[in-house]
Structure formats: structure tokens, C-alpha cells
Structure 1
């Protein structure tokens, strides 16, 4: 598998998640909505479930041409503006909560996983395995937003980098591994 291909044709995604994508930023909003509609995602209801592959097909079209750079930005905007429960008050809790949120917004079949492989608060680094069909840059944007939002107050910089020593969705694998530092 690679990015943009659902692991299971039965997988559904909640409309609210698609709407977050459509409304992530003003720039290109009309074009994103047109692309969604072209792929059968019209009159979206935040509480209804939709075919994941249709959404991934829209993602793929968006990733082509001038829109490729927006996938990272959209990932950042979606999670940068997301509401978190009050108990999510640290970077460690926030990183572990991504998988919970992912499973709340996807259903039926093999949807994938966000797996925290390492979290080291002392060395200020983490490793996250993202086994899902979403574009690599979108996941990197999600992770970057979480790290920036929940990093310790004394952290000056953050970095989220695709681990090029591992297989990735960019070359046909089912997952990407990200190295995070703060």
C-alpha cells in the first residue's frame, strides 16, 4: 500500500473530519470544496460517515500540482485549531491522544494507527509511527501542530522529520516514521 489507498474498502470517516479539511484555511477553500464534490463528497454533514477512499481520492488530487505544499499546512491547521480535553496538558499526553482521536473519527475495518514508539522527556525526543493511508506531509503537519502547541514552555524550537532510514508511504510502504524533537 501507499498513501491515498485505504487499507480496507469498508473504512468510513466522520463528516466533521472532512469539514475540518475543507475549512482548514481560507486560501483555496473553494477549490478544496470543488475537489471534494468532484469525488462524491457533497452537502457534508458533520455527524454522518463517508467512504474513506473517496476522501483519499480528493486528497490525492489536492496533492498534485500547486496544492502539494498545502497538505502540511492543512494538517497543521486542523490540529492547531482542534479542541483538546483539559486533561491533555502535556506533549506526551497529546501525542498519545492522536491515536484515540484518529479512531474516534474513523470506523469499520482496518483504519490504521498512530503509535508512539518512543517518548523521552529528558532528551526531548519522540518517535511516532503513522500507519495509515493519509499523505505523509499531512501527518507531518498534524504532528508539528501538536508539538508546537504542547511543547514545554522552555522549548525554543521543534522539529518533525520523516525518518528516511525507514520505509515510508512515499515509496509504497504502509507507514511513515517521524522523528520529533523539542
Structure 2
């Protein structure tokens, strides 16, 4: 996995930062503190973090906050936080079911991340700029299964939470398995692959 320095110029759209507050329940005040310490937003009059949902914020700061959540509260907290992404992130209007959701995931990922204040994917031109990895998904013919390969800078537990929530939004019975977890980004590999199944 690349070092955080490789993502120093990249950004995330402000509305996506809500996952850190929505997903942590009673721990949200600590997440609030983490965000302020990493300069993700500013403190309001009540001391709570405020951010502009349409503004761009440093991706590295977001990754650091997620890493702190994982260290202090564990992988379950990170998965729970990431599970809110499908409901708050920007997705193409073509998404109507689990297959179209996973087909559009990489585009959505790039729509919600930016460089120099511009999204990495432009719907008007169809141009996608590189630099933050990808979510490559494919449906298994004749089966209720999707394989998703991730090369994002986010942690395995974050991606698991996002992928499972996206799947369950359209197929409530969906489950996820991290394939070959000992040969993944957490252990120096370039990618992680997840199997999503439903009945």
C-alpha cells in the first residue's frame, strides 16, 4: 500500500465527512475531536466540528481520522462509519439495483474525491483522472455474486463496511467475504478482493 504522502494533493468532498459522525454513535464526540485535530473543518460556537458539504478537504486528514478511529475503537467502528457512505455520497443516476450500483462504484468513488478543487470524474465529459486507486467490480454470470477489487488508500475494514452497505441497500441478504486477507493491502499487497453474495 502506498504511503499517505502519495495522496497529499488529493481531496474528499465535505458531505462525505458526515460518515465519521453518523457512524460512531456515542463515540461521535471523540470523532469530532479527531476531525478538529486533523483540521477537517472548523469548530463552531458550541465546539462541534462544522464543514461545508460542497467544499473539498484533504484526503490524508480524512485517512488519518479513520486510522485513529480504528486504533481507538476497532474495525467494527470503522465498518459502521463506512456503512453510511452509500447514503451520503454522490452516485450516478443510473444506479437502480445491486449490479448497477457496483458497476457505478468506481465512477462514484472518483466523483467524491478531487484534486485542486475539482472532482476526479466529470459526468459531462466522462473523463476520469487517476491517483487514488479504483474499485473494480464484476458480476459472476449465473450467480448472485459480485467480486470487487479495491486499490483505494482506505483500510480493509472501511472498504468492507462501504461495500456491504452498498450491497444491502439493494439486496438486504447480502454478505461479504474478504478473500485472501493475508495477501491484501494491510500486508503490503496492491489490492484487496471482496466477494459479495446474496440469496
> What residue is the counterpart of 1:28 in the other structure?
27
Measure, in 1, the Cα distance between the counterparts of 2:177 and 2:82.
Answer: 14
Which residue of the other structure, out of 64, 67, 70, is the alignment partner of 1:60? 67
Measure, in 1, the Cα distance between the counterparts of 2:170 and 2:52.
Answer: 30
Which residue of the other structure, out of 105, 120, 126, is the alignment partner of 2:112? 105
Distance 1:173 1:49, change over 3 A: same
- Report the TM-score when normalising by structure 1: 0.84
Q: Does 1:167 align with 2:183?
A: yes
Any residues of structure 2 matched to 1:20-169 within 5 Å, and which? 20-43=19-42, 44-80=51-87, 87-108=94-115, 110-116=131-137, 118-120=138-140, 122-151=142-171, 157-164=173-180, 167-169=183-185
Q: After TM superposition, give the deviation of residue 92 of structure 1 in Å.
A: 0.5
Using CA pairs below 8 Å that are at least 6 residues apart, which structure has the higher relative contact order?
Answer: 1
What number of residue pairs does the alignment pair up? Answer: 176
Q: After TM superposition, give the deviation of residue 168 of structure 1 in Å.
A: 1.1
- Report the TM-score when normalising by structure 2: 0.78
Distance 1:48 1:73, change over 3 A: same
Determine if contact 1:63/1:71 at 8 Å carries over to the other structure. yes
Q: After TM superposition, give the deviation of residue 82 of structure 1 in Å.
A: 5.8
Q: Which runs of 5+ in 2 are unaligned?
A: 43-50, 116-129
Q: Which runs of 5+ in 1 are unaligned?
A: none
Distance 1:25 1:63, change over 3 A: closer
Runs of 4+ in 1 over 4 A off after TM superposition: 80-86
